[in-house]
A and B are shown apart, each in its own frame.
Chain A
């Protein structure tokens, strides 16, 4: 087995002109970051250092929550959140079958059972189907703000309240998505974010954040992420090691200051695509409901003859990707849950036709025009 399948992918990426990966451009100003890193390195403040506190404070301020807790990754953010809520063996957690593997992985790691509810045409969990999936074992709902679009929280919150279950938002792709005077992460008991290199706020490796307004959750999470230690020598519960590196917090905090321009540019690029692609009947553009409720971590269209279109675009130097197919309930890992093809028709339909176009802040309008032109060419010959 290849130790890391990604390097092969990287080699392929290198040949592509319009890429999903924009990191070289994003961190062209690393000198500024180096200056800040020097101080950290001199102090030897590498784990749970001052820069983590600073980043957490600034992050919480933007999201509007009382607390933010830096952790090892977005996956860990979800896992630790479930653990902080005491969810484990015998419990059920509702989420959507169209998403990234880690949402389900975190539920399974906690010892609980994922229960899928189909998505809507906007790729997010369909709130009208949630109540039908609730049993007396249900302890939480994880709405995934897919691609950067907020789920219909107005409908989901009352369902959770009525049934006395927690909401853990998977906001890994949706930092700064905004609706009803609230930012993503601030709707549920806990909100989970990822700083993986291709997220809205990204760092030089793995990292994540959990936000909450509950002091009890905050205190529990501080223990869970650091071996259950209340000080160097005393351990009050069996915890984990899942810390955001101090070094990565410096990088994250640096980008945090640029977040408004990042999301604005992504929204502008998406608007431009929407406007141009509407002319192509074979393509469906992604739905959004307000001006700021979608931050376009991904710009996902649905396309007729998707696989061939993807191939065609890649041949033309455009890094078109599929996020993701097949859906989660049809993965080999999900065999044990007993789902089958046909159980979630919308997720299955979406998975077979989705295609992500590069939408990041370094894409130029000329590049967007080129992409649209190639899509037209594909369908019109």
Chain B
């Protein structure tokens, strides 16, 4: 019997069901389902939360990356540097623009290794996409410095890192763009697909407004061929409720993470952080050489776990055209074999947390 589900959206919903239903009801009665005040309000409050001047709601996190690249004019013949341990969408978005993803290896903490960036830069390189995997922000100081030196754009893949801070600054506020996902499994989530982009640059902001809505400057005039990638106003209405709970969510997640860390540190490798990190964890990933055995053992004990992600992007069939091979990114490849994600959501009960720690502690690692 499952005692701890890896995902439990039901629990989350029960808490706020009535508020959401009345919100949807008034939304429906408004009759305005595309754009409108709900979206404006959400964009304003999420920009404020992310400490960026502007936020632009889009169809999903993948589109956020794709539209950001397009807004910077990146496409055919260009190269974009990123990491191979992200969700497939990071490389997918680069590919969709016509550009080529160029991978570099990561550090022990799963984030881009800044020391490897410069050797990957060619004259075709146009941008770097650091991925704040698990919620931990990449080491942005050296990344920004290298980008500046080589005149490259920085697009943060902040799909997993809403609310995280690095040296006091929020994720999504470092680069030219910050790309966020509002997918149901994210810390700020909606009832379907959604995403948004943050920026401090008004010109880029205006470009994105055009790109997400057919290139229209008004109903009748089309100044460029754009896309249709809008955050549904319905989702914005739901998100405007959830965003007010986000600080509370972070507090609870932190509590769980600290319990995990102190309870597990003698048994498995726990996620590391620097003094200047203030991480809003999206996933809690432990490392152990006995990963597969532990995963199986926990499932027998009723605890679901997951792997983010078992096959690195450069070894996917889709990446064959990029001509990477096994051994190119040893740290990512090693991590793919040792990582295990534990359940992490605010509704996890203290009993469930204790149970997970107890079962992992009693597992025979030898």
Q: Interface of A with B (CB < 8 Å)?
A: 1, 3-7, 9-10, 21-24, 27, 30, 34, 41-44, 46-47, 72-76, 79, 89, 100-102, 104-105, 108-109, 111, 196-197, 203-206, 227-229, 233-243, 245-248, 322, 324-326, 328, 331-334
Query: Closest CB-CB distance, A361 to chain B, in whole Å?
Result: 15
Residue of A nearest to B317 (CB): A236
Given the interface pairs A1-B209, A34-B21, A248-B192, the reply to whether A205 lies near B225 with Cβ below 8 Å is no
Chain B 288-318, CB-CB to A under 8 Å as 1, else 0, gives: 0000000000000000000101110100111
Are A109 and B218 in contact (CB-based, < 8 A)? no
Interface segment, B7-15, B123-131, B327-335?
A: B7-15
Provide the bound-state CA to CA distance between A355 and B315, in Å.
55
Are B316 and A333 in contact (CB-based, < 8 A)? no
Residue of A nearest to B216 (CB): A101
Residues of A within 8 A of B88 (CB): 227-229, 235
Are B234 and A10 in contact (CB-based, < 8 A)? no
In the complex, 26 of the A-B residue pairs with CB atoms within 8 angstroms, ordered by the A residue number, are A4-B209, A5-B218, A7-B35, A9-B219, A23-B32, A24-B29, A41-B191, A44-B13, A102-B214, A105-B228, A109-B227, A204-B28, A205-B33, A205-B233, A206-B59, A228-B88, A233-B307, A233-B309, A233-B311, A240-B92, A241-B62, A241-B63, A248-B232, A328-B222, A331-B222, A333-B223
Partner of A46, one of B28, B192, B221, B307: B192
Residues of A within 8 A of B95 (CB): 238
Residue of A nearest to B12 (CB): A44
Q: Interface of B with A (CB < 8 Å)?
A: 7-10, 13, 21, 24-25, 27-37, 39-40, 43, 56, 59-63, 66, 76, 88-89, 91-92, 95-96, 98, 183-184, 191-193, 205-206, 209, 214-230, 232-235, 307, 309-311, 313, 316-319
Query: Closest CB-CB distance, B36 to chain A, in whole Å?
Result: 6
Residues of A within 8 A of B21 (CB): 34
Most A CB contacts (10 A, CB to CB) among B21, B33, B76, B209 go to B33
Residue of B nearest to A229 (CB): B88
Residues of A within 8 A of B43 (CB): 3
Query: Closest CB-CB distance, B151 to chain A, in whole Å?
Result: 27
Query: Closest CB-CB distance, A86 to chain B, in whole Å?
Result: 15
Provide the bound-state CA to CA distance between A203 and B191, in Å.
14
Are A197 and B218 in contact (CB-based, < 8 A)? no
Query: Closest CB-CB distance, A23 to chain B, in whole Å?
Result: 4
Residue of A nearest to B213 (CB): A4
Residues of B within 8 A of A236 (CB): 316-318
Are B214 and A240 in contact (CB-based, < 8 A)? no
Are A76 and B228 in contact (CB-based, < 8 A)? yes
Residue of A nearest to B321 (CB): A238
Partner of B89, one of A42, A46, A227, A243: A227
Are B225 and A6 in contact (CB-based, < 8 A)? no
Query: Closest CB-CB distance, A20 to chain B, in whole Å?
Result: 11
Are A228 and B232 in contact (CB-based, < 8 A)? no
Provide the bound-state CA to CA distance between A233 and B62, in Å.
17
Provide the bound-state CA to CA distance between A41 and B14, in Å.
10
11 new A-B contacts at CB < 8 Å, known A34-B24, A205-B34:
A4-B39, A46-B192, A105-B215, A105-B226, A205-B233, A233-B311, A236-B316, A236-B318, A238-B96, A247-B234, A328-B222
Provide the bound-state CA to CA distance between A96 and B176, in Å.
38
Residue of A nearest to B101 (CB): A238
Most B CB contacts (10 A, CB to CB) among A10, A236, A326 go to A10
Are A5 and B219 in contact (CB-based, < 8 A)? yes
Provide the bound-state CA to CA distance between A243 and B60, in Å.
10
Residues of B within 8 A of A34 (CB): 21, 24
Are B31 and A205 in contact (CB-based, < 8 A)? no
Provide the bound-state CA to CA distance between A205 and B38, in Å.
12
Partner of A206, one of B24, B29, B31, B230: B230
Partner of A322, one of B220, B225, B226, B227: B220
Residues of B within 8 A of A9 (CB): 219
Provide the bound-state CA to CA distance between A108 and B226, in Å.
9
Residues of A within 8 A of B183 (CB): 47
Residues of B within 8 A of A23 (CB): 28, 31-33
Residues of A within 8 A of B307 (CB): 233
Provide the bound-state CA to CA distance between A262 and B221, in Å.
31
Partner of A108, one of B216, B225, B228, B309: B225
Most B CB contacts (10 A, CB to CB) among A41, A239, A241, A322 go to A241
Are A227 and B214 in contact (CB-based, < 8 A)? no
Are A241 and B60 in contact (CB-based, < 8 A)? yes
Most A CB contacts (10 A, CB to CB) among B88, B98, B193, B229 go to B193
Are A75 and B227 in contact (CB-based, < 8 A)? yes
Residues of B within 8 A of A248 (CB): 192, 232
Are A205 and B234 in contact (CB-based, < 8 A)? yes
Residue of A nearest to B98 (CB): A111
Provide the bound-state CA to CA distance between A72 and B232, in Å.
11
Are A75 and B191 in contact (CB-based, < 8 A)? no
Partner of B59, one of A1, A72, A109, A326: A72
Query: Closest CB-CB distance, B334 to chain A, in whole Å?
Result: 17
Residue of B nearest to A74 (CB): B228
Provide the bound-state CA to CA distance between A268 and B34, in Å.
28
Provide the bound-state CA to CA distance between A19 and B220, in Å.
19
Are B89 and A104 in contact (CB-based, < 8 A)? no
Provide the bound-state CA to CA distance between A320 and B210, in Å.
25
Provide the bound-state CA to CA distance between A41 and B9, in Å.
8
Partner of B7, one of A21, A44, A325, A326: A44
Provide the bound-state CA to CA distance between A205 and B232, in Å.
5
Provide the bound-state CA to CA distance between A22 and B32, in Å.
10
Are A7 and B37 in contact (CB-based, < 8 A)? yes
Partner of B33, one of A100, A197, A245, A334: A197
Residue of B nearest to A41 (CB): B13
Provide the bound-state CA to CA distance between A203 and B235, in Å.
13
